[in-house]
């Protein structure tokens, strides 16, 4: 028996969700909702057999719908998810989960008391590459993780109600949450720049210091002429480079290490580390579209209540970090403004 | 008539300097000095006709030597350069110029009063790629510069008397000084990590906020399994990507722009910018080895006293920035340490 | 009024055709036919509103269907296309059009006498890259074409009823037909190898000599561990490299030329050409999926009878060349066999 | 005691040879000969301590010189090498060894009777990459070799006394000789084109059929806007791609295989092979400059008479193949000319 699913939001991301719901053998796409009539017509063309609904209320009131997938602008997340939970439906919601961590916690509490599944679309966590990296950590092939250094830059898509940290950051923060065992950073350094609109950072540089000598750096931008999705993940035994735009060799493991040898002192130089540069190995990575894996995971979680790395709680941690980073970033933007316009300070 | 040159230091970088001095038709390599006998023997094998000298004093006392090139560890820079200037010799010194900006200023003052040329080896400033970028700015092809975002990472070479900012940073800071018209940043954000040695940062993330809405970001590391030398340089008309490790297409210019169009509002979305994605153009870049260009520039500056972007003054600005960045970075490292070891703070 | 289309064959390529028919606003996908029940069920899942038909006869007998798209194994092409034409339907057929040029000519004659459109899916001809190259030739930017050198290799898909020349060759031969103004080669050199099955070449190297000093080379393989789609196309003014697997810079134009300068003779060397190595330019290429462009072109051709580079006549020329190449290739395979087994010859 | 070496020819390649002789601790560069005074002056500038000699006779008459390295245009190879052998000197000669296989055999016979070493500079055979591939064959990691498919193309350097097959072909033919155990091909297919000069092919496509089901293809060109050095080498267990222009991952091993499974027959399709696509592995390759390895090998061979893959006999086999290929290529060029100018045939 398939789980019947209603999709709310058929804008930029909605069509991808619709296609992956449709193609999943455990899910039945029964309704699509969008208040924009053009988009609703597009949905009907692509899925003639699916109910097209203009008002979310109508979809949420349909007792045959067991689960809803929410893909609307951020400011609508909380109220729609809350009403879906109240209507007893499982909820899969786009990242970031809500506008504030308080809202996110309320959603988690509501889902818990109602007994429905609340899942956040932190898609990359389920991707073949991240799952492979997690295995390489668990098998001690990489060794103890030491750093995560991500470049996630491209041109646009500028969004009016969220900055680049809230747009691109959730991907890396959810991966970090998964790879660094849900630890929180102990110190946040972040700054950025608003090229287009004074209120909205479109370029951000974020460093997260974690306990146990771990560090993460995120380079996020909507202002790059080239699209880059490259992440360096080092362990103390080997190092990995994940290039998500590569078709064939997304993941490369470098048999590279550094150790200190105290015997090679000499005239003008002191004790220096030795570098081991060895083979490079590109393990086969599951190429299934992450959104397909997500839909399978959502269906299974709704039916079997399996443990999931994409819980509402992970969504809350994600938003708490977004809030911390935004606060530090804003403080630096303020400092720059003060120094750029000295008369403001006088 | 060739300028007779003595090279002090035949370690990691010295052989490259020697080769480029030797190959320059305006310079004569007459002496090489190194206190390490193995290295001195190597120098003699490679240049049998050149005087091999163990003591810098001896080289500096040689009245036939008109210029010295100094390529020794940082802590020897100041005293050697000061004695060379005192001996009336032109000086070309490796970056960074000195251990402190005070020392650097003293060197500038001494050179000025003695009337000799004092030049710092900020090699990349003269490279074909940077010269081409400067032209693209001057001709307004790129438009007004808005950001400089450099990744300069590799494995090692860990150095015992300097951190990664002092080792790799001078390259980008000198290029920024040249491209951003010698402006100083108004706000510095920097942090990093010490993987190998608690005292010495081997990974650093530096953001420099400049007046007039410019920003620069440097990602510097000795801990990367892959070598990357990639810099994004955006103007408000076009954007450039400089990949220094590419043999054939080091520089790419993207006919990419963003502008705000106020007519495309709709239901759930507000005013959004429009993206122009056009052709990509890779201008031919002079592939002459930058060190060869440097030697030519040094020879010409000594003879004709032409204006140079590699003056001692540029070296002073470089070190002032290194000092500012180091201070901010150290403050963040301290903050991390306090939070990682909460008992220290109690 | 949409053109109603029936698709025959829902195997490897059929789903892509179905999707592009469905998404085209001038075409209506009304029926899908496949004798394999598993595939037919897949088609129904994906397109619940479309008639699922097991027997081609039934589809061809449906008077409401105006056009058929044929995507079945090669040996069925002729008979199915012939019956579709007889039924008065427009036909879009996968490449290669038929098993022999005689069959192909009969199809052309039949379509002409019936007055229906007969089009062959030489998809790449309509692709953004090939259209751009054609423009660069027409505008004399590349100059007079001199060579076309294509590498089209990957792992598999081994097919039991056709060799690698008939599988991959039609792409390049149709592009050549389009770029070299429908000229036929005057001399064919071809050889290859059968790694898996003695009867079926899975690797082929084909050189076509054209009049007017043009040459083409095709390197075709099902046995490569890496997928490569790289074509060099030179004119006597500039040269182009088309890498179809690149997402962003599919086409690069090199401002590279060679001319003979008779003034640089010297001791041991004679007159040598001079090489001009200049800028590289990557023009923006239309990224629309070629199959979408094909469907649009098919719809327009059926309605307006516009001139097309994908006519049945182009299909005939394509197959004539496949036959010539196969004959030469087989002669070389025979020669190898004779020499490898000398007792055969005795 | 170092072997004293005289270098004859200081043109395009000579400076590289000089540098590597100079840097080798078992060789002493004592004399450089070139009839071009400009070049001889360059040699003196670079190596002030080395005798500069205008006439080869003078160098060959110097009894202190034990070995000569010959790097002059092809038409001078035979006579110079013959005189050097007659003078009792070991000879290292640039490829191709001589203008004809008869000349090459005479050189081998002369060296054998005189008892001196005659070595041909088939540099790539000693390169880290080729040595690693040979090991992968010997250890059965790749399995039985099945094909070698090389692309060796670039812009120029057009040479007046040799075509592109004689210029670039010796590299691949010597590697093939080494990897395919000195077997000769049993069938040669070759054609090409003369873009610049009717007598001299500047683009060639060569296929060599070997016994035991092996095949090799060489794509050679002086007319490519891009430089490519990419070779696919397949065994029946794994496949390798060697990209010589890659700095870090020159060699990649694909755990890719194909086997026929007779159980997967179905409706329209017959028995098909199954493809295994697995990990990719890039073994560490010795990055020593091949010319440095050559000089070491030459020194060792002269002193210890170790077995060598670069013997004069290998040079003879190389030239025999060049002759066979040239004959087939010329036959095809003639065929093209006849068909392009039909009046010639009438």
What are the tens digits of pLDDT across the range A9-64? 999 999 999 999 998 999 999 999 999 999 999 999 888 889 999 999 999 999 99
ipTM of the complex: 0.93
Contacts of D159 in chain C (CB under 8 A): 272
The residue written with tokens 């064919």 in the block is: C188
**D31 has pLDDT over 90:** yes
DSSP D266-301: BTTB---EEEEEEEEEE-----S-HHHHHHHHHHHH
Q: Do A223 and B72 touch (CB under 8 A)?
A: no
Least confident span in A199-213, B296-310, C164-178, D254-268: D254-268
Contacts of A186 in chain B (CB under 8 A): 336, 339-340
Q: Do D48 and B49 touch (CB under 8 A)?
A: yes
CATH topology of domain C3-121: Rossmann fold (3.40.50)
Contacts of C23 in chain A (CB under 8 A): 46
Least confident span in C131-145, D25-39, D155-169: D155-169
Q: Do C282 and B283 touch (CB under 8 A)?
A: no
Buried b (16+ CB within 10 A) or exposed e, C84-107: bbebebbbbbbbbbbbebebbbbb
Using beta carbons and an 8 Å cutoff, which residues of C are at the interface with A? Answer: 22-23, 46, 48-49, 226-227, 245, 247-248
**D336 has pLDDT over 90:** yes
- Give how far A29 is from chain C: nearest CA, Å: 12
| Chain D neighbours, 3+ Cβ pairs < 8 A | A, B, C
Contacts of D265 in chain C (CB under 8 A): none
Neighbouring-strand partners of residue B153: B221, B228
Name the band, by pLDDT with cuts 50, 70 and 90, for residue D343. Answer: low
Give the per-residue pLDDT at B224: 95
Q: Do C281 and B277 touch (CB under 8 A)?
A: no
Contacts of C49 in chain A (CB under 8 A): 48-49
Give the per-residue pLDDT at A149: 98
| Beta pairing class for D203-210 and D214-221 | antiparallel
Which residues lie below 8 Å from residue A307, measured CB to CB, with a gap of 6+? Answer: none
The predicted-structure confidence for D279-313, as pLDDT tens digits, reads as follows 999 999 999 999 999 999 999 999 999 999 999 99
| Beta pairing class for B3-8 and B27-33 | parallel
Give the per-residue pLDDT at C343: 56
The whole-angstrom separation of Cα D177 and Cα D317 is 8
Contact D27, D21 (CB under 8 A): yes
Give the per-residue pLDDT at D250: 95
**Is it true that A3-121 and A125-287+323-331 share their CATH fold?**
no
User: Is the Cα torsion angle A107, A108, A111, A114 positive or negative in sign?
Assistant: negative
Q: Do C267 and D36 touch (CB under 8 A)?
A: yes
The residue written with tokens 């999709």 in the block is: A7
| Chain B neighbours, 3+ Cβ pairs < 8 A | A, C, D
D314 token code pair: 């290998």
- Give how far D220 is from chain A: nearest CA, Å: 28
Contacts of A287 in chain D (CB under 8 A): none
Contacts of B280 in chain C (CB under 8 A): 248-249, 281-282
Closest CA to D216 of D163, D317, D146: D146
Q: Do B36 and A268 touch (CB under 8 A)?
A: yes
Nearest chain C residue to A226 by CA distance is C248
Q: Do C336 and D35 touch (CB under 8 A)?
A: no
- Give how far B129 is from chain C: nearest CA, Å: 13
| Chain A neighbours, 3+ Cβ pairs < 8 A | B, C, D
Closest CA to A232 of D269, B268, B155: B155
The predicted-structure confidence for D100-125, as pLDDT tens digits, reads as follows 999 999 999 999 999 999 999 999 99
- Give how far D111 is from chain A: nearest CA, Å: 42
The whole-angstrom separation of Cα D242 and Cα C8 is 43
DSSP E strand boundaries for B236-290: 239-243, 251-260, 273-282
Contacts of A339 in chain B (CB under 8 A): 186-187, 209
Question: What are the φ/ψ torsions at residue B108 (nearest 5 degrees)?
Answer: -60, -45
- Give how far B283 is from chain C: nearest CA, Å: 4
- Give how far B144 is from chain D: nearest CA, Å: 33
B217 token code pair: 């970001």
3-state SS class at C309: coil
A296 burial (CB, 10 Å; 0-12 / 13-18 / 19+) is middle
Best mutation target among D23, D27, D29, D48 (most B Cβ atoms within 10 Å) is D48
- Among partner residues A49, A227, A247, which is closest to C48 by beta-carbon distance? A49
Maximum Cα–Cα distance across chain C: 81
Size of interface A-C (CB pairs under 8 A): 13
Closest CA to A220 of A176, A160, A171, A174: A171
DSSP E strand boundaries for chain C: 3-8, 27-33, 51-53, 67-70, 90-94, 118-121, 145-155, 187-193, 203-210, 214-221, 223-235, 239-243, 251-260, 273-282
Q: Do B249 and C278 touch (CB under 8 A)?
A: no
Task: Give this prediction's pTM.
Answer: 0.91
Q: Give the mean pLDDT of A163-182.
A: 97
Can you give the residue ranges of every domain in chain B? 3-121, 125-288+323-331
Contacts of D42 in chain B (CB under 8 A): none
Alpha carbon B69 to its chain centroid, in Å, reads 16
CATH topology of domain B125-288+323-331: Dihydrodipicolinate Reductase; domain 2 (3.30.360)
3-state SS class at A60: helix
Contacts of D247 in chain B (CB under 8 A): 245
Give the per-residue pLDDT at C271: 52
Q: Do B281 and C281 touch (CB under 8 A)?
A: yes
- Give how far B21 is from chain A: nearest CA, Å: 24
User: Is the Cα torsion angle C5, C11, C16, C22 positive or negative in sign?
Assistant: positive
Neighbouring-strand partners of residue C257: C276
The whole-angstrom separation of Cα C60 and Cα D17 is 74
Q: Do D209 and C269 touch (CB under 8 A)?
A: no
**A261 has pLDDT over 90:** no
What average pLDDT does the structure give for chain A? 92
**Which residues in chain B show pLDDT less than 70?**
259-272, 342-346
Give the per-residue pLDDT at C64: 97
Which residues lie below 8 Å from residue A115, measured CB to CB, with a gap of 6+? Answer: none
DSSP C218-275: EEEESEEEEEEEEEEEEESS-EEEEETT-SS--EEEEEEEEEE-TT--BTTB---EEE
Question: What are the φ/ψ torsions at residue B239 (nearest 5 degrees)?
Answer: -130, 145
**A247 has pLDDT over 90:** no
CATH topology of domain C125-287+323-331: Dihydrodipicolinate Reductase; domain 2 (3.30.360)
- Among partner residues B277, B278, B281, which is closest to C279 by beta-carbon distance? B281
Give the per-residue pLDDT at A272: 62
3-state SS class at D151: strand
In tens digits, chain C (346 residues) has pLDDT values of 899 999 999 999 999 999 999 989 999 999 999 999 999 999 998 888 899 999 999 999 999 999 999 999 999 999 999 999 999 999 999 999 999 999 999 999 999 999 999 999 999 999 999 999 999 999 999 999 999 999 999 998 887 778 999 999 999 999 999 999 999 999 999 999 999 887 899 999 999 999 999 999 999 999 999 999 999 999 999 999 999 999 889 999 999 877 665 544 444 344 567 777 789 999 999 999 999 999 999 999 999 999 999 999 999 999 999 999 999 999 999 999 988 875 544 4
Nearest chain B residue to C248 by CA distance is B280
Give the per-residue pLDDT at C36: 96
Contact C172, C218 (CB under 8 A): yes
């Amino acid at each position: 028996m398939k789980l019947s699913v209603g999709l709310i939001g058929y804008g930029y991301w909605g069509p991808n969700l619709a296609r992956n719901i449709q193609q999943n053998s455990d899910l039945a796409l029964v309704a699509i909702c969008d208040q924009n009539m053009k988009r609703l017509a597009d949905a009907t063309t692509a899925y003639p057999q699916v109910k097209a609904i203009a008002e979310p209320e109508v979809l949420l009131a349909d007792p045959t719908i067991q689960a809803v997938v929410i893909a609307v602008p951020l400011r609508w997340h909380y109220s729609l998810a809350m009403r879906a939970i109240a209507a007893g439906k499982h909820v899969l919601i786009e990242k970031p989960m809500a506008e504030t961590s308080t809202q996110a916690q309320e959603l988690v509490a509501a889902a818990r008391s109602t007994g429905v599944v609340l899942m956040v679309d932190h898609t990359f966590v389920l991707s073949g590459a991240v799952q492979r990296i997690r295995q390489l950590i668990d098998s001690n092939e990489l060794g103890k993780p030491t750093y995560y250094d991500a470049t996630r830059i491209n041109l646009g898509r500028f969004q009016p109600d969220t900055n680049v940290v809230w747009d691109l950051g959730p991907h890396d923060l959810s991966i970090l949450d998964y790879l660094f065992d849900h630890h929180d950073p102990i110190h946040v350094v972040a700054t950025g720049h608003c090229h287009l609109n004074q209120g909205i950072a479109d370029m951000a540089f974020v460093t997260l210091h974690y306990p146990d000598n771990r560090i993460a750096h995120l380079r996020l931008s909507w202002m790059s002429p080239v699209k880059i999705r490259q992440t360096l993940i080092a362990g103390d035994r080997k190092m990995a480079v994940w290039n998500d735009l590569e078709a064939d060799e997304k993941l490369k493991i470098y048999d590279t290490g550094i150790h200190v040898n105290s015997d090679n002192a000499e005239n003008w130089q002191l004790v220096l580390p030795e570098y081991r540069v060895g083979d490079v190995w590109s393990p086969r990575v599951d190429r299934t579209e992450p959104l397909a894996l997500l839909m399978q995971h959502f269906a299974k979680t709704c039916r079997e209540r399996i443990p999931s790395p994409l819980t509402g709680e992970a969504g809350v941690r994600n938003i708490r970090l977004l809030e911390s980073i935004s606060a530090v970033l804003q403080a630096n933007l303020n400092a720059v403004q003060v120094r750029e316009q000295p008369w403001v300070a006088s």
